[in-house]
A and B are shown apart, each in its own frame.
Chain A
Amino acid sequence: MTDQKKVVDILLGMGRVMEENKEFLTDLDNTIGDGDHGINMARGFAEVEKQAEGLAGKDIGNILKTTGMTLVSKVGGSSGPLYGTAFMKAGMTIGAKTEIGMDDFLGGLEAGIEGVKARGKSTTGEKTMLDSMVPALEAMKEKQAAGADVKAVLEAGVAAAEAGVEATKPMVATKGRASYLGERSVGHQDPGATSFAFLLKEICNAY
């Protein structure tokens, strides 16, 4: 089981990973987007870190909803409303719990993904974060149903997310700023799909 403190620790870890990969994500975004993804994600999670002390006493649903609101307010690019919506929907689905298990996590992620689809009016195959999120969720659900332990479920998710990132390379972007490039977006991995794979890997590393 995962308690409130661990959830906050993981969020702080996500902030470190976004800071460490700020340049990398921004470079990816420079190639096919507006070159702000790494900077924006690092700025958003730095704000989450500032609130970490206040977050620790809240239930997990509230921690996630507050994180989502912070990302919406502070990120400044599309990843703000998209990741912000994902965290808020996950928080609403998980609700006022102080401990969660894998089923709660997968339910939260599923709600988050549905939120991203609705917010971005997008689906898989459009060279977006959904192309790593959706395969990761499917792989984890499958492992969970097969009775695997937490670590094995998360590892399967990370592997699927990373494969999903690779799969964005040949795709033509039809959503987001990269869609202005059309065919010229082919050959480059999607920054949003990449940042999700980093975030999921950070969750996995915590177990």
Chain B
Amino acid sequence: MVGIVIVSHSEKLAESIVDLTRMMADGANIVAAGGLEDGSFGTSYDRIKEAIEKVYSAEGVIILMDMGSAVMTTEMVLEEFDAGSKIRMVDAPIVESAVAASVSALCGNSIEDIIAEIEETKNAAKF
């Protein structure tokens, strides 16, 4: 199953997004990488790296981020992995895309198909 990592400045926000996905996709391979080691807001290189390693498989990993350093720190973590590793950062609304990705991953879809579904959340109007 494709793995999913939620990167946020907030530990609670990242964990809550993971919890929220369980409503529809309990059993998806999704983990949180939020906040700093001391519990404060920020993005932790080590937490992101550990989270990716935890859900990594040959099927790949999708990373969803909030903003700023979450994106830049994730980029730097990815530079440490082999160029052949199937790890993709996707730019999309973090809550909606986490739900869409976890449902799709649990259904056994490929990373390419899941990313295509996530991309659709960018254009989905709420009303």
Residues of A whose CB lies within 8 Å of any CB of B are 34, 36, 40, 72-73, 75-78, 80-82, 84-85, 119-120, 176-177
Contact A73 B45 (CB under 8 A): yes
Top 8 nearest A-B pairs (CB, nearest first) are A76-B42, A81-B72, A78-B69, A73-B45, A76-B36, A78-B68, A77-B69, A81-B76
Of chain B, the residue at the smallest CB distance from A84 is B76
Contact B73 A81 (CB under 8 A): yes
CB of B46 within 8 A of chain A? yes
Contact A76 B75 (CB under 8 A): no
Of chain B, the residue at the smallest CB distance from A177 is B68
**In the complex, chain A residues whose CB is within 8 Å of the CB of B69:** 76-78, 80-81
Contact B42 A40 (CB under 8 A): yes
For A76, give its contact among B43, B67, B76 (CB under 8 Å).
B43
Instruction: Pick from B9, B45, B75 the residue with the most CB of A within 10 Å.
Output: B45
A interface SS class: helix
CB of B110 within 8 A of chain A? no
Q: Mark B54-74, 1 if CB is under 8 A from A, else 0.
A: 000000000000011100110
**In the complex, chain A residues whose CB is within 8 Å of the CB of B44:** 73, 76
**In the complex, chain A residues whose CB is within 8 Å of the CB of B41:** 34, 36
For B75, give its contact among A34, A40, A81 (CB under 8 Å).
A81
Inter-chain CA distance A88–B67, complex, in Å, is 23
Instruction: Name the distance in Å between A148's Cβ and chain B's nearest Cβ.
Output: 36
Instruction: Name the distance in Å between B47's Cβ and chain A's nearest Cβ.
Output: 10
For the complex with contacts A76-B43, A77-B69, A177-B68, 19 further pairs of A-B residues with Cβ separation under 8 Å are: A34-B9, A72-B45, A72-B76, A73-B44, A73-B45, A76-B36, A76-B42, A78-B68, A78-B72, A80-B43, A80-B69, A80-B72, A80-B73, A81-B72, A82-B72, A119-B75, A119-B76, A176-B68, A177-B67
